[in-house]
Amino acid sequence: MGRILSTLQQAKRVLLGQVNAGRAATVYQDDVFLVSYPKSGNTWIRFLISNLVYQDEPVTFANIESRVPSIYMLPDRVLRGFPRPRTLKSHECFMPRYRNVVYIVRDPRDVAVSYYHYNLKKGLLPPTCSIQDYIPQFLADELDMRCGAWGDHVMSWMCMKETRDKFLLLRYEDVLANTETELARVAQFLNLPITPERLQHAVRFSSADRMRDLEKKQGKDWVFAKGMRRDIPFVRAAVSGSWRSSLPLESVRKIEAAWGTVMRELGYSLSKDLPTAPRTHQPVS
C-alpha cells in the first residue's frame, strides 16, 4: 500500500509540475550545458561564471540556482522561464539534445576521494565504510547519481564531441592552475564580456575559502544539502593530487586498470609513470 501511495503522490507531483526536470528537461537550441561526472568541479565553474556575470551581487549557495541552475534542482516549468540563452548544470552521459557543451573532467583518482566523502555526507555509505571498501562501488557506479562509470561517462562525450555545435573541454586541474585563463576560455565560449578586472573579481569571489565560508553560514538553508550530514563539508580541499595520500595503492591500481587508457588520453599520468611512487595513504575519516 505504501508503494502505491508513493507512486500516486509522484504522479500528482508530475501533473502539478513539481518534479525536478532532470534528464527530461526541455532543451533549447541555444542552451549551454555545463556537464561533468559528479565531484569534478561543476559547482565551482558555476560560481566562476555567475561571479563573472553578476559583479554587483556575488553568488552564494542561496542564489546559485537562480544564476546557473541545475536540472536536478528545479521543475522543468521553472527552468523554461529562465531568460535565454540559458546555462545549465548537468551530470548526464552523452545527450544528443545538448548541442552546446562545456565538459569538465577531473582525474578519476581525485574524483574517487571526493565522491567517497560526498557519499558519506549523503548517508549512502555507513560511517564505518573505508575508502578502500568504497572503490569497487565507485568503479561499478553503484551509488548516488547512477550516471555511468567515470570512464563510460567521459568517453560518451569525448567520442561524440565533434557532433556538437560547440564543445569546450575543461580539465579541473588546468582551472586550478590557471583560473583566470581558463575562465576566459569559458567566457568566450558563452559570449560573455571580459576584462582582466572582471576575471580577477570572479576568481576572488569564487575562491575555495569563500565557498567554504558560505557553506558554513548557509549550510542549513541550502536546499541541495537538506538532510545531509553537516559535519562533512561539500567544499573540501579543492586541490589536485590528493589521491596520492588518500588512496591505498591497491585502490589506485584498480582505478588505473579500469580507465588507464582514457586517463592517458586526457593527460593524466598513471602511478607507474610518475617519478615517485604514491605515498602511503593516510586513513580518511
Going along the chain from its start, the domains and CATH numbers come out as: 20-273 (3.40.50.300)
Q: For residue 132, give the amino acid letter.
A: Q
| Sheet bearing 166-171, strands edge to edge | 87-90, 32-36, 100-105, 166-171
What pLDDT is recorded for position 221? Answer: 57
DSSP string, 175-205: HHHSHHHHHHHHHHHTT----HHHHHHHHHT
* Whole-number Å distance between alpha carbons of 22 and 254: 31
The confidence band for 161, taking pLDDT boundaries of 50, 70 and 90, is very high
The string over 242-268, giving b where at least 16 C-beta atoms fall within 10 Å of a residue's C-beta and e elsewhere, is bbbebbbeebbbbbbebbbebbeebeb
Judged by DSSP in three states, 259 sits in helix
* Whole-number Å distance between alpha carbons of 266 and 262: 6
Mean pLDDT for 231-238 is 60
* Whole-number Å distance between alpha carbons of 62 and 79: 17
Residue indicated by cell numbers 582505478: 255
Mean pLDDT for 145-174 is 95
Helix (H) / strand (E) element for 176: namely: helix 172-177
In this structure, what DSSP letter does residue 28 have?
A: -
Q: pTM of this prediction?
A: 0.86
Lowest average pLDDT, out of 58-67, 102-111, 179-188, goes to: 58-67
* Whole-number Å distance between alpha carbons of 82 and 86: 7
90-145 per-position pLDDT tens digit: 999 999 999 999 999 999 999 999 999 888 888 888 989 999 999 999 999 988 77
The confidence band for 284, taking pLDDT boundaries of 50, 70 and 90, is very low
